[in-house]
Amino acid sequence: MKVLVPIKRVIDANVKVRVKADNTGVETANVKMAMNPFCEIAVEEAVRLKEAGTASEVIVVSAGAAQAQETLRTGLAMGADRGILIQCDSDPEPLAVAKLLKAVVEKEGPELVILGKQAVDNDNNQTGQMLAALLGWPQGTFISKVEKTDGSFAITREVDGGLEKLEIKAPAVVTTDLRLNEPRYASLPNIMKAKKKPIDTMTPADLGVDVSPRLTVVSVTEPPARKAGVKVASVAELVDKLRNEAKVI
Amino acid sequence: MSTLIVAEHDNAELKPATLNAVTAAGQLPGETHVLIAGSGCGAAAEAAAKVAGVDKVLKADDAAYDHHLAENLAPLVAKLAADYSHVIAAATTSGKNVMPRAAALLDVQQVSDISAIEGEDTFVRPIYAGNALATVKSSDAVKVLTIRATAFDAAPAEGGSAAVEAVESTGDTGLAAFKGQELTKSERPELTTAGIVISGGRGMQSGENFAMLERVADKLGAAVGASRAAVDAGYVPNDYQVGQTGKVVAPDLYVAVGISGAIQHLAGMKDSKVIVAINKDEEAPIFQVADYGLVADLFEAVPELEKELG
Ligand SMILES: Cc1cc2nc3c(=O)[nH]c(=O)nc-3n(C[C@H](O)[C@H](O)[C@H](O)COP(=O)(O)OP(=O)(O)OC[C@H]3O[C@@H](n4cnc5c(N)ncnc54)[C@H](O)[C@@H]3O)c2cc1C
Ligand SMILES: Cc1cc2nc3c(=O)[nH]c(=O)nc-3n(C[C@H](O)[C@H](O)[C@H](O)COP(=O)(O)OP(=O)(O)OC[C@H]3O[C@@H](n4cnc5c(N)ncnc54)[C@H](O)[C@@H]3O)c2cc1C
* Per-residue pLDDT reduced to its tens digit, B179-234: 999 999 999 999 999 999 999 999 999 999 999 999 999 999 999 999 999 999 99
Q: What is the pLDDT of residue B182?
A: 96
Strand partners, B197: B223, B254
Whether residue A117 contacts residue A220, with contact meaning beta carbons closer than 8 Å, is answered with: no
Going by pLDDT thresholds of 50, 70 and 90, the confidence category of residue A227 is confident
Q: To the nearest whole percent, how much of chain A has pLDDT over 90?
A: 96
Q: Is B217 helix (H, G, I), strand (E, B) or coil?
A: helix
Mean predicted lDDT score pLDDT of chain A: 97
Q: What is the pLDDT of residue A225?
A: 87
- pLDDT tens digits, A104-122: 999 999 999 999 999 999 9
Distance CA A222, CA B268 (A): 16
Q: To the nearest whole percent, how much of chain A has pLDDT over 70?
A: 100
The 3-state secondary structure of B113-180 reads EECEEEECCEEEEEECCCCEEEEEEECCCCEEEEECHHHCCCCCCCCCCCEEEECCCCCCCCCEEEEE
Q: What is the pLDDT of residue B138?
A: 98
Q: Using CB atoms and an 8 Å cut-off, which of residues 84-103 of chain A contact chain B?
A: 93-96, 98
- pLDDT tens digits, B113-130: 999 999 999 999 999 999
Distance CA A41, CA A49 (A): 12
Q: Using CB atoms and an 8 Å cut-off, which of residues 146-165 of chain B contact chain A?
A: none
pLDDT of B310 > 90? The answer is: no
Q: What is the pLDDT of residue A85?
A: 98
Q: Which of A182, A199, A190 is nearest to A68 (CA)?
A: A199
Stretch A224-238: mean pLDDT, rounded? 94
β-pairing, B116-119 vs B122-127, is: antiparallel
Stretch A163-191: mean pLDDT, rounded? 97
Task: Determine which of A38, A144, A249 to mutate to test the interface with B (most B C-beta atoms within 10 Å).
Answer: A249
Residue of A97, A104, A130 to mutate, ligand 1, most atoms within 8 A of C-beta: A97
Determine whether the interchain pair A162/B239 forms a contact, defined as Cβ–Cβ distance below 8 Å.
Answer: yes
Nearest CA owner, ligand 1 atom 53:
A25
pLDDT of A226 > 90? The answer is: no
pLDDT of B140 > 90? The answer is: yes
Q: What is the pLDDT of residue B86?
A: 98
Distance CA A126, CA A239 (A): 43
Distance between Cα A125 and ligand 1 center (Å): 8
The beta-carbon neighbor of A168 closest among B135, B176, B305 is: B176
Determine whether the interchain pair B309/A249 forms a contact, defined as Cβ–Cβ distance below 8 Å.
Answer: yes
Please tell me if the CB atom of residue B230 comes closer than 6 angstroms to any atom of ligand 2. Answer: yes
Q: What is the pLDDT of residue A93?
A: 97
Stretch A19-35: mean pLDDT, rounded? 95
Q: Which residue of A has its CA nearest to B104?
A: A130
Give the domains, in start order, of chain A with CATH numbers.
2-244 (3.40.50.620)
Ligand nearest the Cα atom of residue B131: 1
Stretch B133-160: mean pLDDT, rounded? 97
Ligand nearest the Cα atom of residue B128: 1
Q: CA-based angle B139:B143:B146, to the nearest 5? A: 130
Element holding A165 (H helix, E strand):
strand A162-169
Q: What is the pLDDT of residue B156?
A: 98
- pLDDT tens digits, A42-57: 999 999 999 999 999 9
Q: What is the pLDDT of residue A195?
A: 97
Determine whether the interchain pair A235/B296 forms a contact, defined as Cβ–Cβ distance below 8 Å.
Answer: yes
Q: What is the pLDDT of residue A189?
A: 97
Distance between Cα B260 and ligand 2 center (Å): 5
ipTM, interface predicted TM-score of the complex: 0.96
Q: To the nearest whole angstrom, how far is the Cα of A143 from the nearest Cα of chain B?
A: 11
Q: What is the pLDDT of residue B41?
A: 98
Q: To the nearest whole angstrom, how far is the Cα of A88 from the nearest Cα of chain B?
A: 18
Q: Which atom of ligand 1 is nearest to the CA of A38?
A: 49
Please tell me if the CB atom of residue B279 comes closer than 6 angstroms to any atom of ligand 2. Answer: yes
Q: What is the pLDDT of residue B144?
A: 98
Q: To the nearest whole percent, how much of chain B has pLDDT over 70?
A: 100
- The residues near A88 (Cβ < 8 Å, ≥ 6 apart) are A63, A64, A65, A203, A204, A211
Q: Which of B108, B105, B109 is nearest to B173 (CA)?
A: B105
pLDDT of A156 > 90? The answer is: yes
Q: What is the pLDDT of residue A228?
A: 83
pLDDT of A90 > 90? The answer is: no
Q: What is the pLDDT of residue A77?
A: 98
